[in-house]
Structure 1
Amino acid sequence: MTTLLITHPAGLDHVMPPGHPESAERLKAVDQALEAERFASLIRIEAPLGTLDQVALCHPADHAQALIDSSPASGFVQVDGDTFMSPGTIEAALRAVGGAVLAVDEVMAGKARNAFVAMRPPGHHAERDRAMGFCFFNHAAVAARHAQKAHGAERVAIVDWDVHHGNGTQDIFWDDASVLYASSHEMPLYPGTGAASERGTHGTIVNVPLRPGEGSDEFREAFEVAILPRLDAFRPDLVVISAGFDAHWRDPLASLNLREADFAWATQKLMELADRHAGGRIVSVLEGGYDLDALATSTAAHVAALMGS
């Protein structure tokens, strides 16, 4: 078994206004980085189109349909202050959902040890019935729910190291004892959620806010002290990673100081945990990361770690 890479050119057709940080250049940078010789053994599959039923695992069907129906024939539709839809947005978002679902299917069936879904737009800010923060559908949340519904996973852990707190994922699983959501993130920062006191109805929300300017030592301590012990106690059947790379020191939208080696280290720690509890099963989905060079090198470090190289 090896690592699966799932992507699709439709991710490039989600067009943002000029100068917007969540641009198609992000996916181009990731694609180029993963074309290097050391990634030749990746199993590469195109992301299928997700279905409304799959989206409805986490979002009300009428909300999802309203988003689909509001897709513009040309130009842009503004969803919130920094979130826009273009004619290619809905296909890109649905293929991000479909890619996450396919990744779960392949990993749960033992056809791949783990998978990385390189799609955009990102998803972790999308709440049950609200698109926001560049996000439309919550791909990581759909992956967790699909693993439970289609494959009988009893417990799924979602680990989010994007520099912004995944308010959407927290919202979706706040009352759910069967999904543990653990996040390290900068605070204060958009979207303003993610205090350590936010624990969910069943104590299955684990927030570890980091202060602006903090870096490798604090990030690794957050994992070692707060996140990994909770994951071990939870004993997940699948680990889903919301893999944002905007905590990198070069990123323009935040002020943490992580390096590529930190993402590789965290990946390796989660692989060890998945080996103990989940048969090695990990599905990782791309979230943020807005400096193109940092995004490319950090993604490469993450995927190389998933491959065991």
Structure 2
Amino acid sequence: MNIQLLIFLTALTTVFAVCPTNWSAHNDRCFFLSKDNETLAGALKLCQAIGSQYGRTASLATVDDVATQKFLENPVKQSGYHGFYIGLTDIVEEDTFVWISSGKTATYTNWGTIQPNNRYGNENCVVFRNEPGYVMTWTDDPCTDLNNYICEMATPLYKSKKLVSLQIIINQPSKMNIQLLIFLAALTTVFAACPAHWSGHRDKCYFFSRDNETFSDALILCEMLGAQYRRPASIATIDSANTQKYLANLIRHSGSNAYYIGVNDIVNEGEFVWISSGQNATYLNWGPDQPNNRWGNENCVVIRNDPGQGFDMTWTDDPCTDLNTYICEMPAAEIHIPILG
């Protein structure tokens, strides 16, 4: 008697498409060079939006080998522009540069002279430059600088699927064989609770930024960082005194005195809603005379560590366009994904 273990695999039939008008093809990717200037977060959001118009996933460009670098040099030169964001940052850990689209640490780089230098302590995003002193080389720049940008999306379109079965035949079943089958069936991949440079509290991971962003750009960057770990992320929710106390302790040792959190009254004045859940805030920790909507446009919330001004880990409502550091949040619970099932 044979025991047959059937593993069903999905084989994808691919059809390669031509890149759309105004996109340039290289290997299996299409590239688009913008004419407008954006912050890194704004550029990332627009790349994603443009890709969705073609039913494809797009991001800021990954330049991960010499061939891609050389290919892009010609359209960059022809564009007449001097600086393009590419999808590389060291937002999480200084000098560890990670590709936005894959979450992988860069192994190929093309730095210009004395780069990266983090000159002002906030240069966490990478720009592909073509100007005197930086001819087709890279620099690290503040993520809030306004630059052109290069989008990237895949060229193949997946048209059809077919199932292929693979048979593993085990002759003369024994206790060992049965144990092997049980092991294979139970095999899982387990994700760690919190990555490096994220702090764990209960079932959440928190990341404290070093760069200053508007509220909307902070939200985009939190989502970007979470995607690198294949988890949903947003600006932090502080919905209990316990979470407030935990984060306040970390803020005291952070070096920044103002962080965006994910509550706002953008829709209805005075009705504060958590951006990650859409639920009205029931726990609040306002500072003196807050919220006051002082200039009529203070719709986002900042947790402040400024005792001299009367704000000792308390909250203020601020304009959403102010540049502040921010706290990201994503799930910390272990995720078990069966390899065979």
The two structures share one fold, judged by TM-score above 0.5: no
Larger Rg: 2
Quick check: which one's strand share is greater? 2
* TM-score where L is the length of structure 2: 0.27
Quick check: which one's helix share is greater? 1
